[in-house]
Amino acid sequence: MLINDFFIEKIWFIWYNNNMLKSILNLPIFEILNKDIYNPSHAYLFYGEDELFNIEFAKVFIASIFCGKPACFQCESCRRIELNRNPDLLIIDKSNLQVADIESIIENIQLKPMIYDYKIVFITNAEGINDSAQNKLLKTLEEPNPHVIFVLTCTNFDKLLPTIKSRLNKHYLPTINLDLIANDLKLQGINIDKFSHCDITLTDAIKYSSTDNNELIYTIEHCMYNLKSSKDIPQIVGNLKIAPEQRKEFLKLLLKMTDCSLTGKVWIFDPKLIEYIRSMYSLKVLIKMMKLIDKAYNMVESNVNFNYVMDKLFYDILKEKYLCK
């Protein structure tokens, strides 16, 4: 069963109940956060390269504050978090927050908590708050309401203003290593063998475990293993059954595969494929391949016939391989 067959909430529920977060993050971070559960600060920032993991980790932390102990996900308080029915939790999941959005938040937090000691404002992807809105938020962070806690997540730490960052209790979350949880998730019926060898974020693991993206990856493997001479191109292109809305994603994955072959990283690809590409194409050719794929992407974006684009791309790749011998 693929990882995306489960709700994300189920995944982090499994992690917590099996103490997996403690094995994913180093113990000192947990010790600090355990203390904060009982005596929270007024504002937190969880940041790191993996957007989804930042958000899910923050949810566990928020659930723990409301629960009054490390989240159990069994009590009524934790169930409210799981079901998104906590009246004292304001979740702001918007890519570009404006001043008006911050004003609305400020108006909301003037009301006292309905059930708990605190009202928590959870802002995901905080790097999307524009500078004017950040300055508006700053005053609230400088004069904190004793019954309000802000929890922010972001992947681009540098996009937050220094004045905002100075008011936040900051915690860096390292990119999750799926090897750490693969065996545990297997026990829950979640098969992530295909990602267990990869240097990949949880966000990408879930995205590329979908049926559509799996098919794109398999198509790339088929193309590269069979691309040996110009005589192979008509059959390869003729067998490409890629929906129009998936064609740009296909070329993005092809570009990523070439980049992985250059760097020796595996990411979501079969290690044998990366090893094969590196044995068949020199580094010089791989660099030129990236330029050719980028050009093909632009052509598809300009609505050039897809079969023509792929025919030309594969021919040009073989040409570069021949010229660089």
Give CA separation, 241 vs 105, 222, 250, 277, 301, in Å. 48, 12, 11, 23, 18
Yes or no: say if 141 and 129 are a contact pair by the CB < 8 Å rule: no
**Structure token pair of residue 66:** 């409301």
> Could you tell me which residue, 97 or 45, shows the higher pLDDT?
45
pTM: 0.57
**Cβ atoms of 202 and 52 closer than 8 Å:** yes
Tokens of 15: 């992690």
Residue 94: pLDDT band (50, 70, 90) is confident
Range with lowest mean pLDDT among 106-110, 194-198, 222-226: 194-198
Q: Which of 23, 47, 10, 3 is nearest to 203 (CA)?
A: 3
Domains of the chain: 26-173 (3.40.50.300), 210-323 (1.20.272)
End-to-end CA distance of the chain: 44
Is residue 184 classed as helix, strand or coil in its secondary structure?
Answer: helix
Q: Considering only CA atoms, which of 280, 276, 281, 283 is closest in space to residue 262?
A: 283
Q: How far apart are CA 228 and CA 125, in angstroms?
A: 45
Give me the residues paired with residue 117 across strands.
none
Identify the pLDDT of residue 166.
94
